């Protein structure tokens, strides 16, 4: 029982530590959904679960000694939220006189893409853990992650329901939401810049 309790505790800590920034992204998505009707809550939930499941799957496969995506290429995933943010910013400029935020990520697949891009660096944290623990502990860890996604979505939905936050989004949302996505994407690309230069440089 101590072994299971220890695994659960470690999994909780690992999920929280590697997904703090994801809570911000989810809050922005829920806020955008309330203001524009898109994305819908089920799309946010499903996209988040799909994205986290993909990250865990890649980590487990990598733990077995196989490489699906070279480390140097992970930074390119930052282009997903960056492109979505630029598209949203263009839509904001075109919709003069409308203060509501544009639907930056408006479906399951774009949300899953943002989740994968935002959490791609987590693979380097998950892989050695999955390599060092047995199959039973891996299953427990995956179950904890599944519960963590639900908790994150509930927390983000709650944060996105506060009146002051909603009022702020109503006033400045058409700029804040796209800029948030552009910032996330740019940070992902910049953090991976050394690896990208090494892989694609002369």
Model confidence pLDDT, tens digit, residues 71-111: 556 666 667 777 877 877 787 777 665 555 555 667 888 88
Question: What stretches in the chain show pLDDT beneath 50?
Answer: 1
Contact 102, 36 (CB under 8 A): yes
Q: What is the pLDDT of residue 76?
A: 66
Its pTM stands at: 0.71
**What span, in angstroms and rounded, lies between the C-alpha atoms of 14 and 100?**
36
CA angle 152, 36, 94 (to 5 degrees): 125
* Tokens (6 digits) for 188: 């992902």
Task: Give the pLDDT confidence score for residue 56 in this predicted structure.
Answer: 93
Give the integer Cα–Cα distance in Å for 120 and 69.
Answer: 10
Angstrom distance (rounded) from CA 44 to CA 54 = 15
Task: Report whether 122 contacts 19 (CB < 8 A).
Answer: yes
Q: What is the largest CA-CA distance in the chain?
A: 60
Residue-level pLDDT at 103? 55
């Amino acid at each position: 029982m101590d072994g299971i309790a220890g695994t659960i505790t470690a999994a909780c800590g690992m999920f929280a530590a590697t997904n703090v920034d994801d809570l911000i992204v989810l809050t922005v998505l829920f806020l955008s959904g309330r203001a524009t009707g898109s994305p819908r809550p089920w799309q946010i939930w499903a996209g988040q679960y799909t994205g986290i499941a993909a990250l865990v799957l890649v980590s487990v496969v990598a733990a077995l000694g196989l490489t699906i995506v070279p480390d140097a290429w992970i930074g390119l995933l930052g282009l997903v939220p960056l492109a979505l943010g630029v598209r949203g910013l263009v839509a904001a400029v075109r919709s003069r006189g409308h203060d509501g935020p544009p639907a930056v990520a408006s479906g399951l697949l774009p949300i899953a893409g943002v989740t994968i891009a935002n959490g791609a660096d987590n693979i380097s944290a998950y892989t050695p853990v999955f390599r060092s623990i047995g199959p039973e502990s891996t299953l427990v860890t995956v179950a904890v992650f599944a519960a963590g996604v639900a908790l994150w979505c509930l927390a983000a939905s709650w944060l996105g329901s506060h009146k002051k936050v909603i009022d702020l989004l109503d006033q400045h949302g058409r700029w804040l939401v796209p800029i948030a996505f552009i910032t996330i994407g740019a940070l992902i690309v910049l953090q991976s810049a050394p690896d990208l230069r090494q892989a694609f440089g002369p």
